[in-house]
A = this chain, B = another copy of it.
Amino acid sequence: MDGAQMIAHELAIVPEGMIADMLTREAAFDAVEKVFAAMAAGEATNFPVVREALGHEDALYGFKGGFDRAGGVLGLKAGGYWPHNLDRRGLINHQSTVFLFDPDSGRVTGMVGGNLLTALRTAAASSVSIKHLAREDAKLLGMVGAGHQATFQLRAALETRKFEKVIGWNYHPEMLPNLQRVADEAGVPFEAVELPGMVEADVIITITSSFEPSLMANHVSPGTHIACMGTDTVGKQELDAALVARATVFTDEVAQSVSLGEAQQAIKNGVIAEADIQQIGSVINGTHAGRTSPEEVTLFDGTGVGLQDLAVAASIVEVAVASGQATVVPL
């Protein structure tokens, strides 16, 4: 045996059950904002995504990896979607784990439960877009979608801006109490509306898993910021392509936006071009002006990238190790 490989090091584990205590929404926001900036500056790169149907339990499984040179964060999120988990074994259907590596040596350094983390980093992404693209005087928040993910989105948005009211629509209206509860907790009034009622909103978050557009161009007033968080797969669509065409489009990663994000249909229909889509990180960095008028409709196509997971996981490990709460295993 080569003696060199025996030099010991440590692995810090933060299991799923500890994430709620280890990760604040502020920390998730900061980590995501920073890594979006690094991506736009060319200092952080997402690797090609692997996503495979296993032919077992109807599961989808894969890897989202990346390297943030600026932050010194390397690794991947591995996992996917097991649609029968809840019914068959009382587990949530989305299951993932984040693994971190030392970019200087290639050795594994961290392992972090990825389930709650994924919900919080996705919510952080729309919040980052609201901070940088919504009008300063935005008062009314519209929610399209009312599932589990929507509650994370709403909670994060209400902490980002002082919204005075929330309105919400869902294809299954019986789920709207999910939104009502979050609004109540934040002390903000909530009202259920039909989709045309979204014309009142200054900011709209769409978070459905639809394959047909819900939000049409005439449902949206000038000056609105829309964060499209639901479309992450070829074939999905939340917004009418004409609405996408009317907006100034920003995204986390252009390659994903045009292929599997909200922009895919508008690109396919030829109503926008890839060159029309800006990285949100450019706005954070100040190399793109972002919103340029109070009438402009801005759109953030949040597709979800591995670097978000890695950035948030790295910040969790830092907190967990510093507070002595990580499970540290000698390797």
- 20 inter-chain pairs at a CB distance below 8 angstroms, sorted by A residue, are A2-B92, A4-B91, A6-B17, A11-B13, A11-B111, A13-B329, A15-B331, A16-B331, A48-B50, A50-B65, A54-B69, A55-B69, A78-B99, A78-B101, A78-B108, A89-B104, A91-B105, A95-B107, A108-B111, A329-B329
Counting contact residues on chain A (CB < 8 A from B), the size range is 35 or more
Question: Which of A1-31 touch B at CB < 8 Å?
Answer: 1-2, 4-8, 11, 13, 15-17, 20
Question: Known contacts A20-B1, A90-B7, A107-B95; is A56 also within 8 Å of B69 by CB?
Answer: yes
Question: At the interface, yes or no: A191 with Cβ under 8 Å from chain B?
Answer: no
Question: At the interface, yes or no: A106 with Cβ under 8 Å from chain B?
Answer: yes
Question: At the interface, yes or no: A115 with Cβ under 8 Å from chain B?
Answer: yes
Question: Which of A24-67 touch B at CB < 8 Å?
Answer: 45, 47-48, 50, 52, 54-57, 59, 61-63, 65, 67
**Could you tell me the distance between the alpha carbons of A67 and B5 in the complex, rounded to whole angstroms?**
28
Question: At the interface, yes or no: A142 with Cβ under 8 Å from chain B?
Answer: no
Instruction: Flag if B1 contacts A5 (CB, 8 Å).
Output: no
Instruction: Flag if A4 contacts B86 (CB, 8 Å).
Output: yes
Question: At the interface, yes or no: A327 with Cβ under 8 Å from chain B?
Answer: yes
Interface string of A100-142 (1 = CB under 8 A from B): 0101111110010101100000000000000000000000000
The 8 Å CB contact of A327, one of B4, B50, B85, B329, is: B329
Interface residues of A, Cβ cutoff 8 Å to B: 1-2, 4-8, 11, 13, 15-17, 20, 45, 47-48, 50, 52, 54-57, 59, 61-63, 65, 67, 69, 74-76, 78-82, 85-86, 89-92, 95-97, 99, 101, 103-108, 111, 113, 115-116, 148, 327, 329-331
Specify which chain B residues have a CB less than 8 angstroms from the CB of A82 in the assembled complex: 104-106
The 8 Å CB contact of A7, one of B52, B91, B329, is: B91
- Smallest CB–CB gap between A127 and chain B, Å? 20
**Could you tell me the distance between the alpha carbons of A106 and B111 in the complex, rounded to whole angstroms?**
15
7 closest residue pairs by CB, A with B: A95-B106, A15-B331, A5-B92, A97-B108, A82-B106, A4-B92, A4-B90
Residue of B nearest to A57 (CB): B104
- Smallest CB–CB gap between A148 and chain B, Å? 7
Question: Known contacts A5-B116, A47-B62, A56-B67; is A106 also within 8 Å of B80 by CB?
Answer: yes
Specify which chain B residues have a CB less than 8 angstroms from the CB of A61 in the assembled complex: 67, 74, 101, 106
Residue of B nearest to A102 (CB): B95
Instruction: Flag if A56 contacts B17 (CB, 8 Å).
Output: no
Specify which chain B residues have a CB less than 8 angstroms from the CB of A6 in the assembled complex: 16-17
**Could you tell me the distance between the alpha carbons of A105 and B89 in the complex, rounded to whole angstroms?**
8
**Could you tell me the distance between the alpha carbons of A330 and B67 in the complex, rounded to whole angstroms?**
29
Residue of B nearest to A42 (CB): B55
Give the most central of A8, A101, A108: most B CB within 10 Å.
A108
